[in-house]
């Protein structure tokens, strides 16, 4: 039987909201399903936080258009500013370039980052509604 985990897109206003809500959807209150892009990829690939390996599962992202709007270039720029403050000095020029693009509404958004991880690591698991 396929388990369906529901993510309420109207409640995803920031990337931090996404981490909290997907963790709760999959693993209950206070649950974990990644709290950064690499951790999400690991969870989707069978790492810590994934539902039982014996069960098929689907993540149904309802009202994903609301999330797409909230996780647009403005949120992307905010996340890249955080990344810039924490990244290794050798990565700063690349992050600055991504940040400059986001500030002019170019390049992938946070929403795009998430969708790409789902598509790469767990094709068919995500259903956008």
Q: Provide the CATH number for the domain around residue 15.
A: 3.30.370.10
CA–CA separation, 122 and 117 (whole Å): 8
Q: Looking at the predicted structure, is the pLDDT value of residue 91 above 90?
A: yes
Q: Looking at the predicted structure, is the pLDDT value of residue 54 above 70?
A: no
* Count of structural domains, the chain: 2
119, 59 in Cβ contact below 8 A? no
> pLDDT band for position 53 (50/70/90)?
low
Which residues does 7 contact at the CB level (< 8 Å), separation at least 6?
Answer: 18, 21, 22, 25, 59, 60, 61, 62
Do 34 and 50 belong together in one domain? yes
Within a 13 Å sphere around the CA of 104, how many CA atoms are in the beta-carbon half? 7
Do 31 and 62 belong together in one domain? yes
Range of the domain at 93: 73-108
**Total-model pTM:** 0.93
pLDDT at res. 113: 98
pLDDT at res. 45: 87
Share of the chain above pLDDT 90, in %: 88
Do 67 and 77 belong together in one domain? no
Mean pLDDT score, 96-101: 98
């Amino acid at each position: 039987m396929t388990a369906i985990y529901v993510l309420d897109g109207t409640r995803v206003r920031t990337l931090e909201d996404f981490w909290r809500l997907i963790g709760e959807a999959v693993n209950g209150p206070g649950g974990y399903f990644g709290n950064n892009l690499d951790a999400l990829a690991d969870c989707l690939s069978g790492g810590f936080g994934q539902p039982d390996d014996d069960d098929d599962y689907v993540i149904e992202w309802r009202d994903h258009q609301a999330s797409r709007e909230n996780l647009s270039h403005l949120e992307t720029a905010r996340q890249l500013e955080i990344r810039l403050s924490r990244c290794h000095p050798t990565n700063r020029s690349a992050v600055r370039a991504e940040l400059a693009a986001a500030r002019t509404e170019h390049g992938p958004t946070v929403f795009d980052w998430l969708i790409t991880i789902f598509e790469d690591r767990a094709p068919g698991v995500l259903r956008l509604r």
